[in-house]
Structure 1
Amino acid sequence: MNYRKATIEDIHLLMELRKTQLVDEGIKADKDIDKELEAFFEKKFTDESLIQLIAMEQNEIIATGAIVIYDFPPSYTNKSGKKAYVTNMYTKNEYRGKGIATSLLTKLVDEAKSLGITKMWLGASKLGRPVYKKFGFKETDEWMELEL
């Protein structure tokens, strides 16, 4: 298995993975969201506010994870104002429980740190919540956060 950063050339693969993830999370696929997904990925890759990692095995994407970088006003607890939102964390069923999501998350944390980001947050599914808690994320009223 190898890990790499996704690029703008991977957009259509990422779109399909995102739709699979949403259905696996119980969201009904009753709308065509291809145009919106493609626009999202194009914009985020172009302005470099998305870091999407993929885990590959035999030329197949088996897992993915991403951070979207947001600029907030600087504060006393976050001098740069930059935060990373963890999203698109997804592992195909047959590969779950093997530490792949934890590896992806570790690599995303390293990417965030290299950019001077000191705060990460996410909205966790029931399936993902234990992974994030074990990693060190703390629950708040609405989110889970990790101080880096």
Structure 2
Amino acid sequence: MLHKANLSEIDEIIELKLSMFRESGHMDLLADDAKQRIRQKYIQLYQNDEAAHFLIKDSGKIIACCGGFIKSDIPYSFYKQSYYGFIGDVYTIPQERTRGLATDLTKATIAWLKSKGVWTIRLLASEQGKPIYQKMGFVNTDEMALALE
């Protein structure tokens, strides 16, 4: 059953986030104390009503999640609407994929962000996620990245 997470579920959400990093091969990007830092940041964001996760559980365990975050950074902080929505932490455990859970959770997250007055939503999509987001109306942007060594 889909529901909005509460603070007592933060640790389990973080474990799913770490699973996502492991699966994508990006664990080496995380700081040694990342788990604690993520926990502190998420608690702060939840308390300020600037983040929410939506979950689907089975037998008391999270099998899929999606997070919405309200962000205000440069250059967006100078726009008429100085904040935007960001979708992250979209993860479904492998054995539950292809059931549309991520789509349902993303729609719930979009509704929450919309209820907060967000006009624009951004996300970083994996290759397997891109078709799902494109069906929902997301488009590729002109953003570029440079990795410095």
Q: Is TM (by shorter chain) over 0.5?
A: yes
Deviations 1:84-105 (A, max 9, x none): 0010000111111111111011
Residue identity opposite 1:36 in structure 2 = R
- Correspondence list, 1:68-107, <5 A: 68-71=69-72, 72-75=77-80, 80-107=81-108
Count of matched residue positions in the alignment of Structure 1 and Structure 2:
138
Greater share of helix: 2
Aligned to 2:12: 13
- Correspondence list, 1:67-146, <5 A: 67-71=68-72, 72-75=77-80, 80-142=81-143
| TM-score normalised by L of structure 2 | 0.84
**SS class of match (2:128):** coil
> Does the CA-based 8 Å contact 1:85-1:120 persist in structure 2?
yes
CA displacement at 1:44 relative to structure 2: 1.1
Residue identity opposite 1:109 in structure 2 = I
| CA spacing shift, 1:111–1:28, aligned 2, 3 Å | closer
Residue identity opposite 2:9 in structure 1 = D
| CA spacing shift, 1:32–1:116, aligned 2, 3 Å | closer
| TM-score normalised by L of structure 1 | 0.85
Deviations 1:89-140 (A, max 9, x none): 0011111111111101111111112122111001111121111111110001
* Superposed CA RMSD: 1.7
- Correspondence list, 1:38-77, <5 A: 38-71=39-72, 72-75=77-80
Aligned to 1:146: none
Long gaps (5+) in structure 1: 144-148
Greater mean alpha carbon deviation, residues 29-38 or residues 42-51: 29-38
Long gaps (5+) in structure 2: 145-149
**Percent same amino acid among aligned pairs?**
24
